[in-house]
Amino acid sequence: MTPALPLTIEDAAAALRAGAVTSTALTRTVLDRIARLDGGLGAYVTVCEAGALAAAAEADADFARGLDRSPLQGIPLVVKDVIATRDAPTRANSEVLDPGWGAGADAPVVARLRAAGGVLVGKSTTNEFACGLPDGTERFPFPRNPWNPEHTPMGSSSGTAIAVSAGLALGGLGTDTGGSVRGPAGANGHTGLKVTFGRVPKNGVVPCAFSLDTVGPMARSAFDCALILDVVAGHDPGDRHSSPLPAGRYAEGTRGGGVEGLRIGVPTRYFLDSPLLDGEVRGGVLRAAGELARAGATLTDVVVPHAREANDANNVTFLSEAFAYHRKNLVDRWDEYGRATRELLARAAFFTGADYVQAQRVRALFRRRLAEVFARVDVLLTPVSLTAAAPIASADMAAALTRPGFHGPWNAAGLPAAAVPCGFTSAGLPLSFQVVGRPFGESTVLRVADVYQRHTDWHLRVPPTARDGIHRRVAHQGDARASHTAREGAG
């Protein structure tokens, strides 16, 4: 009989070190869950069973001889299928990408996960080239939201998000160019962090937009995200955008204190006053702000100047840079792209060089104005998205480009931002709020999220499609979450 799966990396790491479970047993449990559940969810494009079991056996051998590489040792993880791995192809959900792209070599982030003892279970589903929409006519898996399979998992890192939410991995990596870590994390009910541009190396990752792309952790909790970030963050000379600034000690910083006296800016204009913002989303964000205020934070209404223009600038930049990367193939191999992807990328053919230059001027102005805002507050708190996960049948990328966007401004500015679960809609779909920080302020962003999660249990809820075989958290003495053991579903 396979053991029940722990809810979090933190819990699994403790169980491994206590000898309550082995990495081999934990990995077999995850592999069994993938075989049983993933046919209806579409989280994985490739499962690396033999390699995962070999890595798990190595982790168990390391534990047996007293070698502890990191808290990720022995933990089953997944990476988005735009990130190169030596033992599986990288396809980016496309017939266009060279099948040999990145073959035989790990991207630096993957090499770091392996060196830390992480167990790579497989590659997760993405939208084609991390843009566009899922295309049910292609041969790749079609991702579905585990809270309601008729609803979208919302974004190109959806495979990793589904895997975390449904217990098909305990954590993993996604990429975020215009919200593709935060959107799926929010829609699937767990935590996801978009890092400061340059904080995590992105060489060995299929490009989407070179001046916006980031690689970030996705896991059930903020603390789990910090454990992953501790491993993957830091300079790599192979990425010319990689920051030389030393990486922080993120897990330590996340648990390094409360939010007493922390100044949280809550921008109403653009973010909370849009007539398109769903009322249940707005209510969830305001309740989360109230919870943080009760924990000791100071809330203040702020204005984020030029947020709409920054979101537009992000869209122009993303589409222009993606078009530049794909231009020749769009001409030569148009029919091999999925319809949604080629139609999205082709829109950028109508932008001029002047449009792109103006977008960069807006980004620079926005960064300067944000510096003034962050002189008065420590973090910002906003919605993640206008609505909870939409029905698959209503997904419309063209319409999304014209609506207010709460992801893109922070990509345009290169700031860290986390999606944090904060409840459920009346239809049982996850709600989420966003914490945005200063450049390289990941520890503060994650600390705010962690404090909220020590007072609530929304991130510990399990979707109805995946309840069987999940271990419900046992509260520990002194744990602020003691009165919030994992409850299944929205009720």
User: What span, in angstroms and rounded, lies between the C-alpha atoms of 237 and 243?
Assistant: 9
Instruction: Give the list of residues 6+ apart from residue 371 with CB closer than 8 angstroms, or none.
Output: none
Selection from 38, 490, 446 nearest residue 252 by Cα: 446
In a domain, 201, yes or no: yes
Quick one: which H or E segment has residue 399?
A: helix 397-400
With contact defined as beta carbons under 8 Å apart, do 192 and 179 qualify? no
Q: How many domains does the chain have?
A: 1
Which of 94, 157, 180, 385 is labelled catalytic? 180
Quick one: which H or E segment has residue 120?
A: strand 119-124
363: domain range?
A: 9-466
Selection from 206, 248, 265 nearest residue 435 by Cα: 265
Which of 70, 94, 124, 156 is labelled catalytic? 156
pLDDT score recorded for residue 476: 34
User: What span, in angstroms and rounded, lies between the C-alpha atoms of 188 and 385?
Assistant: 12
Tell me which amino acid residue 229 is: L
Six-digit token string for 375 = 């002189």
In a domain, 491, yes or no: no
Quick one: which H or E segment has residue 218?
A: strand 214-219
Selection from 150, 197, 156, 193 nearest residue 171 by Cα: 193
User: What span, in angstroms and rounded, lies between the C-alpha atoms of 299 and 285?
Assistant: 13
Selection from 121, 134, 126, 206 nearest residue 172 by Cα: 121
Task: Specify whether 274 is catalytic.
Answer: no
Which of 23, 70, 80, 194 is labelled catalytic? 80
Q: How many CB atoms lie within 10 A of CB 372?
A: 9
Could you report the average pLDDT of every consecutive run of 10 residues in the chain (491 residues)?
A: 88 98 98 97 98 98 98 98 97 94 95 98 96 78 96 96 98 98 98 98 98 98 98 98 96 93 97 97 98 98 98 97 97 94 93 97 98 98 97 78 92 98 98 98 98 97 87 45 38 37
Residue ranges of alpha helices (H) inside 255-389 are 279-294, 307-332, 339-346, 353-374
Bridge partners of 205, per DSSP, are: 83
Task: Specify whether 394 is catalytic.
Answer: no
Q: Specify the CATH number for the domain of residue 202.
A: 3.90.1300.10
In a domain, 487, yes or no: no
Task: Specify whether 426 is catalytic.
Answer: no
Give the E-state strand segments of 137-232 in sequence order. 171-176, 191-194, 214-219
With contact defined as beta carbons under 8 Å apart, do 322 and 175 qualify? no
In a domain, 129, yes or no: yes
User: What span, in angstroms and rounded, lies between the C-alpha atoms of 326 and 332?
Assistant: 10
Query: Alpha-carbon torsion 235, 236, 239, 240, what sign?
Result: positive
Q: At what angle do helices 108-115 and 222-232 cross, to 10 degrees?
A: 110
In a domain, 33, yes or no: yes
Burial annotation 291-320 (CB, 10 A radius, 16+ → b, else e): bbeebebebeebebbbbbbbbbbbbbbbbb
**Tokens 């949280």 appear where?**
264
In a domain, 485, yes or no: no
pLDDT score recorded for residue 487: 38
In a domain, 221, yes or no: yes
**Tokens 């966003």 appear where?**
434
Query: Alpha-carbon torsion 462, 60, 86, 213, what sign?
Result: positive
Tell me how many degrees the CA angle 275-276-280 measures, rounded to the nearest 5. Answer: 95
Radius of gyration of the chain (CA): 21
